[in-house]
Chain A
Amino acid sequence: MSPKKRVAMELDPLFERLQPAEVFFTPDGKQLFLLLEPERFMDGLVTLKNAGFSHLSLVSCVDWLERGEFELVYHLLRWEDGKRVALKVRIDRENPVFQTVLHLWPTARFYERDIHEFFGVVFEGNADREPLFLEHWDDIPPMRKDFDPQPYSQKIFDEREYQHPFVPHIVQANPDRLPWEETIDEAKKGGETNGGK
């Protein structure tokens, strides 16, 4: 029996209740990702929690810029046998609002706060929305795909001129060439190099 079939069969009784819209496997078939409709999602989490998947490893968010949606991924683990299931839900990128899971896992408070800070997703029912890591942040949430750190840092920090303090004369003498090319040429000529200075 292929691993895919085995994983699916073990969870078969749960499948009927979960009714996933899509099922994803890793190439070796050992890991399962279920995509659920938003209105069925909380039921799905409760079903899995009652089936022993009571350990919430992580709440992740993925920004799919081209599709215009955020994907929230809840990674669940069963302590007894080490089985894992991940539930996914897709929400609109323009209006990123979803329900909190605080009533099921109080520890999700900080995962949700984290996602709110880095993706701007609002979890209804979780009032904790203070920034956790970033200080004086004044741009769009930084983990979004349309945030580019380079222009941002150019805007925030002053330009500074970087110079080689060790070989200033070489750099100034021949700005088109790399410093070590000059040094190699000088060595070939038998002249004294400035490498030691």
Chain B
Amino acid sequence: MAENNLELTRNQKEVELFFGPNHPGMHGNFSVHLKLEGDTVVQAEPVPGFLHRGFEKLMERRLWMSNLALIPRICVPEPDINEMVYAMAVERLSELQVPPRGNWIRVLILELARINAHLMSIGGLGGASGLYTDMYWAMTERDWILDIFEKITGARVYHMYIVIGGVRQDLPEGIVPFILERLDGLERRLKEFHDLLYKNPVLHARLKDRLILNRSMCEEMCITGIGLRATGIPHDIRRVDPYAAYEEMDFDIPTGEKGDALTRGHLKLLEVEQSIRIIRQVLAKIPSGPVRQKPLGNALRWRVPAGETFEHVESSRGEYGYYVVSDGSEKPYRIHVRGASYPQGLYGVQRYMPGTRIEDVALWLGTMDFCPPEIDR
């Protein structure tokens, strides 16, 4: 009898909470059904689908060229990785060689996109912990970078600049001093970000030694990216399986030790520094020549040879990849997107969110690098 009574009080204490897109702490259109006991999460069930647009089916119904306008929409903060993996897949299947200058410009674009995504994520960290100054600062800095994109590609958010065979057009005249000026400005601000965020006692109290993601958890969930690097493993696809011109770049891979949320947040800032370093190298040493190879002929009649390939790149959140199957026709036969945050966003939430406190749910999602559109696809 006593046990039954205990069960009854336990059930009465549990509260169900819908933590969804209506919540200001939620990162995008995603929801988690929480069961709370007091302030503690005892059960978490991820419920995606708010953003499901059927990208993979849409891609099967479009020409190889038309897909270039569709795929950047899969990931909002960092759209260029989609174009990159797609272009890499088609190039590998049709044995295209990208000219060196095209590859170097790709590195420039990808690193600018990485800075963008990290700034958004650093801003999100401030938003989720109530430190709104940080959010406004990060968004402002991101806007300065978007100006560079606008000058190079003509668009601010979705660029469609990396195309099959290279990049769409050469860099405009006078862009190098402009980029350097913006990077200098960002670098000056990074120190202020560091002081604001990582010397902040409130943030230390909430993030240090908490929301741990250790090595065995990474292995279990198959997480790469900052989550893995924060545990001390310098795994970076740019280094172990180089693509574009990353083989010729000189950069460090910042790693942490503890794997707590503060380390993960700090690594983002260090990676921005490394990205700036890579962009400076690109601007100083970029070779001249054509930026694109066009041996495929009319874009409306492209036929990619039959075959299959899995391409992956290092996104700001880890391994991002496409599995592309072609049957030799004018349209892809099957494309499967490997979203970098798929493991932690679904399995991770279900398995490791219970035990955290309600006020840390938004921080958990924010510091685990989480992007709903690439889960829904």
Task: Name A residues whose Cβ lies closer than 8 Å to a Cβ of B.
Answer: 24, 26-28, 30-31, 33, 54-58, 60-63, 73, 75, 77, 79-82, 84, 86, 105-107, 109-111, 132-135, 142-143, 149
> Is A132 a contact partner of B48 (Cβ separation < 8 A)?
yes
> Is A27 a contact partner of B310 (Cβ separation < 8 A)?
no
For the complex, is B334 an interface residue (Cβ under 8 Å from A)?
Answer: yes
Bound CA span A61–B240, Å: 27
> Is A81 a contact partner of B376 (Cβ separation < 8 A)?
no
> Is B92 a contact partner of A55 (Cβ separation < 8 A)?
no
> Is A77 a contact partner of B54 (Cβ separation < 8 A)?
no
CB-based nearest B residue for A109:
B347
Task: Name B residues whose Cβ lies closer than 8 Å to a Cβ of A.
Answer: 48-49, 52, 54, 56-57, 61, 92-95, 219-222, 224, 228, 233, 235, 237, 239-241, 305, 307-310, 312, 319, 321, 323, 325, 333-334, 336, 338, 342-343, 346-347, 351, 376
CB distance from B343 to the nearest CB of A (A): 5
> Is B220 a contact partner of A81 (Cβ separation < 8 A)?
no
CB distance from A150 to the nearest CB of B (A): 9
**With A81-B240, A86-B310, A133-B52 as contacts: A58 and B321 at CB distance below 8 Å:** yes
> Is B52 a contact partner of A75 (Cβ separation < 8 A)?
no
List the 6 closest A-B pairs by CB distance, nearest first. A82-B240, A82-B241, A110-B346, A133-B49, A60-B336, A58-B338
Bound CA span A77–B333, Å: 24
> Is B308 a contact partner of A107 (Cβ separation < 8 A)?
no
Bound CA span A111–B307, Å: 23
Which residues of chain B are near A142, meaning CB under 8 Å? 54, 57
> Is A57 a contact partner of B321 (Cβ separation < 8 A)?
yes
Which residues of chain A are near B338, meaning CB under 8 Å? 57-58, 75
CB distance from B315 to the nearest CB of A (A): 13
**With A27-B95, A75-B310, A133-B48 as contacts: A107 and B221 at CB distance below 8 Å:** yes
22 example contacts (A-B, Cβ-Cβ < 8 A) are as follows A26-B93, A26-B309, A28-B92, A33-B308, A54-B219, A57-B319, A58-B321, A58-B336, A58-B338, A60-B323, A60-B336, A61-B336, A73-B308, A75-B338, A77-B312, A79-B240, A84-B241, A106-B220, A107-B221, A109-B347, A135-B49, A143-B56
> Is B333 a contact partner of A82 (Cβ separation < 8 A)?
no
CB distance from A74 to the nearest CB of B (A): 11
CB distance from A91 to the nearest CB of B (A): 16
Which residues of chain B are near A58, meaning CB under 8 Å? 310, 321, 323, 336, 338
Which residues of chain A are near B61, meaning CB under 8 Å? 149
Bound CA span A109–B346, Å: 9
Bound CA span A31–B307, Å: 11
Which residues of chain B are near A56, meaning CB under 8 Å? 222
> Is B323 a contact partner of A73 (Cβ separation < 8 A)?
yes
Bound CA span A77–B312, Å: 11
Of A24, A28, A84, A107, the contact of B222 (CB 8 Å cutoff)? A107
Of A27, A28, A63, A75, the contact of B323 (CB 8 Å cutoff)? A75
**With A73-B323, A107-B220, A107-B221 as contacts: A63 and B92 at CB distance below 8 Å:** no
Which residues of chain A are near B321, meaning CB under 8 Å? 57-58, 75
> Is B308 a contact partner of A24 (Cβ separation < 8 A)?
yes
Which residues of chain A are near B343, meaning CB under 8 Å? 107, 110
> Is B233 a contact partner of A79 (Cβ separation < 8 A)?
yes
> Is A110 a contact partner of B347 (Cβ separation < 8 A)?
yes
Which residues of chain B are near A135, meaning CB under 8 Å? 49
Which residues of chain B are near A77, meaning CB under 8 Å? 312, 319
CB-based nearest A residue for B221:
A107
CB distance from B245 to the nearest CB of A (A): 17
Which residues of chain B are near A86, meaning CB under 8 Å? 310
CB-based nearest A residue for B338:
A58
Bound CA span A29–B81, Å: 23
CB-based nearest A residue for B325:
A62
CB distance from B194 to the nearest CB of A (A): 29
CB-based nearest B residue for A63:
B334
Which residues of chain A are near B92, meaning CB under 8 Å? 26-28, 30-31
Which residues of chain A are near B95, meaning CB under 8 Å? 27-28
> Is B235 a contact partner of A133 (Cβ separation < 8 A)?
no
CB distance from B368 to the nearest CB of A (A): 14
Bound CA span A61–B308, Å: 13
CB-based nearest B residue for A118:
B56
> Is A84 a contact partner of B346 (Cβ separation < 8 A)?
no
Bound CA span A135–B235, Å: 38
> Is B54 a contact partner of A106 (Cβ separation < 8 A)?
no
Which residues of chain B are near A30, meaning CB under 8 Å? 92
Q: Which of B220, B334, B376 counts the most chain A CB atoms within 10 A?
A: B334
Supplied contacts A106-B221, A106-B347, A143-B57, 9 more A-B pairs, CB within 8 Å: A26-B92, A26-B309, A28-B95, A55-B222, A57-B312, A60-B323, A80-B240, A86-B310, A135-B49
**With A75-B310, A143-B57 as contacts: A134 and B49 at CB distance below 8 Å:** yes
CB-based nearest A residue for B45:
A130
CB distance from B204 to the nearest CB of A (A): 30
Bound CA span A89–B232, Å: 35
CB-based nearest A residue for B233:
A79
